[in-house]
Each structure stands twice: as C-alpha cells, then as structure tokens.
Structure 1
C-alpha cells in the first residue's frame, strides 16, 4: 500500500517552533510528528510513502532519506512554489493505485489499512476520514422558517462532522487538478461532487489530534507521552463492518 504525506506547509501558526525547522519535524517525546506517522503506516502494512515537501524540505529529506531505517520505501516530490494542499498530487511519481493521503501535522490512532480497504470497497474516487466534533455555542441558536422563529436553543453544543485531513484518493483525480494554480483539498472534493462523483465519508472514533496551533501541539504531546504505543503501533482488533456510503 502507498501513502502520500503533505509535508510542505510553512507552519506559520506554530511560530516560533517552526522558525528554523519544518512543522513535520517538531517532536512529541523522542519522535518527530512525521516519524510517528511513518511508523504507524508501516505497522498498518504500508510499504511506500511519498513525502510532498517544500518549506525546509531538505531537512525532511536528510532526516528520512530513502526510508530504509523505518522499513519503508520513501520518495519525494517538491511543491515549489507551494500551490495548495491538493496541487502537489499532480507531481507524485509512479502513482497507479489508491493511496492514503494526509497532512503531516496529525497525531492519530486510525487504522490506515482499514481506511484504505473500505475506500476500495466503496468504489468512490475519493474518501474523507470524518470525525464528529462537539462545538459549544455561546449564543442562542434559532430555527427560523417562513419568517417565523420556530424554536430556540440557548447556548447549545452542536455536533458537526469535520474533515480530519486524512483521505484515500484514486490517482485518476489528478485530471481535476489544473496546473499552475492554487488547489486545496476542499476545491478537489467540490470538483468531484460537481462532476457527479460520490465522495465517501469514512467515520472513525479513534484518537486524532490536529497539530496546527500551540494548543493543539501541547494536547497532542500530552496524549502521545501518556501512551506512545497507542499511536506508533496498529492495534490488532476486529472490525465489524462500516457505515454505508455517505456521499454528497
């Protein structure tokens, strides 16, 4: 199996941590964020990882080389100048089968092999790993219809589905990514939907942390140090199926 990791961001929200090193090389304990992802992918049965690099990319290449020390075949593509989170996919070499695609600032215990398998079974060209998030509201929320207030909820907590920054993508979708312009993952997903393609929603409840802010970094570090093996090694646990296709 093949994974593509988007590791070219500047990490501006994490300054000053990222002033002299790329965000994927920030550490959680003894490992960098990127190494934790790579080790987990290997434990899930992945053999190859393509790292899409840009900002301080030579530091990432120097750290991981060809991936031999991690038991992975690692190759690289350079997103220069940076053109969004989806545009680097145009440059991935030798990509012929569905690949797990993810941001490089994630700490997760997701079973990547299961995510990949469910995507293939769905028959969709793209799957999004979806996490349910509880969002507290500090205001009264109204249900308004036909110019009338039908109901009011005072400061409710709303459950919303959010993109986790993890996907499985078939290589044919590169045809929807124009060259020379900025294309982000939401743009690619909307292009698929607009063209009549189903986009699969892979719901998961495994641990997941977005390390995009200092607060997110601190929370991820705390959780990782409490139980490193939970994130480094895929658990051998049964799966009893998965929700049916949730597209559009």
Structure 2
C-alpha cells in the first residue's frame, strides 16, 4: 500500500524551533514526528511512502534516504514554490492506486489499514478521516432565526467532527485540482461535491494531535512519552477504531451536532 505525506510547510508558528529544521524532523521523545508516522504506516501494512518536500527538504532526504533502514521504500517529490495541501499531488510519481494522503505533523492512533480498506470498499474518489470530539459547553446555547428563539440547550455537550488532515485519495482526484495554482484539500473536497461526487467520511475516536503550535506540540509530547506503544504498536489499545459514518447526528437530549448550532441551519 502507498502513503503520501505532506512535509513541505515552513511551520512558522513553531519558530524558532522550525527555523533551521523542518517540522517533520522535530523530536517527540527519541523519534521525529515523521519517523513516528512512517513507523506506524509501515506497521499497518504500507510499504511505499512518498514525501512531498519543500522547505529544508534536503534535510528530510538526508534523514530518511530511500527508507530501507525503516523497512519501507521512500521516494520524494519536491515543490519549487508553496502549493498547499492538494496541488502537490500533481507531482507524485507513479501513483496508480488509492493512497493515504496526510499532513506530516499529526500524532494519532488511527488505524491506517482500516481507513484504506473502508475507502476501497466505498468506491469513491476521496475519503476524509474525521476525529470525533466532544465539546462541553458551560453555557446555554440558543438557536435563533429571524429574531425568534427556536430552541435552547442548557450547557450541552456538542460533538464536533474535526477534519483530521488524513485522507485516502484515488489518483483521479488530480482531475479536480488546478494545475496552475496552489490548492488545498478543503478546496478539493468542495470541488468533488460540486461535481456530484460522493466523499466518504471515516470517523474515529482514538487519539489525535495536530502539532501546529507550541501548546499542541507540548500536549503531543506529553501524550507520546506517557503512552509510546499507542503510536509505535498498531495492535495496542487505541481507545476506539475508526469506522465509516455517513449519517448526520440529530439532537438527542443534551447531545447535538455542530450542524444544529449553525446560524445558517
């Protein structure tokens, strides 16, 4: 199986830590973020990893080479200018079957093999992994339309479906990505939907950390140092495996979906 990891960003929010090294090489314990990702992908059955590099990309090449020392085949595609999170897919060589596509700054217990399997079963061009998180609101929440209160929830628990920055994409998605401009994955999702294509949602409730800020980095570091086996052993308990979820949640007592709180609903 094939995975594509996007590691070209400058990560300015983590400066000065990332000023002289790519974020993908920032350490969490004894391992870099990217090595943890590669090891987990490998142990989930992925044998080819394509790294989309840009900022300080030669340092990533020097670190991982052809991937042989980690038991995978690593190859590279390089951006000459920032292309976002979707347009780099045009540069991936020899891409002929569905591949996991993910940001290179994520610490997670998601089952990559099950995600890939569910995508293949769906027959769709794109699957979006989403992390199911519960927000505890400590205030009353109103639904208001045309100046009239429609409903009130007192201190509800709100379930958020957060885009995890992890996808499975068929190579044909490139037909929906502009070639001349930078493009991001949300734009690709909207383009597919506008073209009448179904996009699969894959929900999971295990661990997920987006290492985009110093605060999030510290949280991920603490989690990894406390439970390293969660991330280095795919068969370790992960507090919930992924599953496909294509049904919108409805209000139920104190639980409601984010859609129910939208001012445009």
Q: TM-score, normalised by structure 2?
A: 0.87
The answer to whether the Cα contact below 8 Å between 2:204 and 2:242 also exists between their aligned partners in 1 is: no
Report the equivalent of 1:74: 74
Structure 2 unaligned spans of 5+? 249-265
RMSD value over aligned CA atoms?
2.0
Question: 1 CA distance for matches of 2:215 and 2:245?
Answer: 35
Aligned to 1:53: 53
1:127 corresponds in structure 2 to 127
The alignment status of 1:211 with 2:211, answered yes or no, reads: yes
Distance across 2 between alignment mates of 1:86 and 1:168: 12
Paired with 1:69 and 1:117, the residues of 2 have a C-alpha distance of 27
Q: What are the equivalent positions in structure 2 for 1:67-216 lying under 5 Å apart? A: 67-137=67-137, 140-153=140-153, 156-216=156-216
Any stretches of 5+ residues in structure 1 without a counterpart?
none
Give, in whole Å, the separation in 2 of the partners of 1:142 and 1:66: 55
2:19 maps to which residue? 19
Distance of 2:220 and 2:151 partners within structure 1: 38
CA distance in structure 2 between the partners assigned to 1:53 and 1:241 by the alignment: 28
CA deviation string 1:195-247 (max 9, x = no partner)? 0000000011121111011111001111111121210121178x999446459
Which SS does the other structure have where 1:42 is aligned? helix
Aligned-partner Cα distance in 1 for 2:245–2:34: 32
Aligned residues: 246
Whole-angstrom distance in 1 between the partners of 2:132 and 2:234: 22
Q: Give the TM-score of the pair, scaled to structure 1.
A: 0.93
Q: Is the 8 A contact 1:135 1:160 kept in 2?
A: yes
Per-residue deviation, 1:138:
6.8
Distance 1:188 1:86 in 2: 7
Deviating more after overlay: 95-104 vs 220-229:
220-229
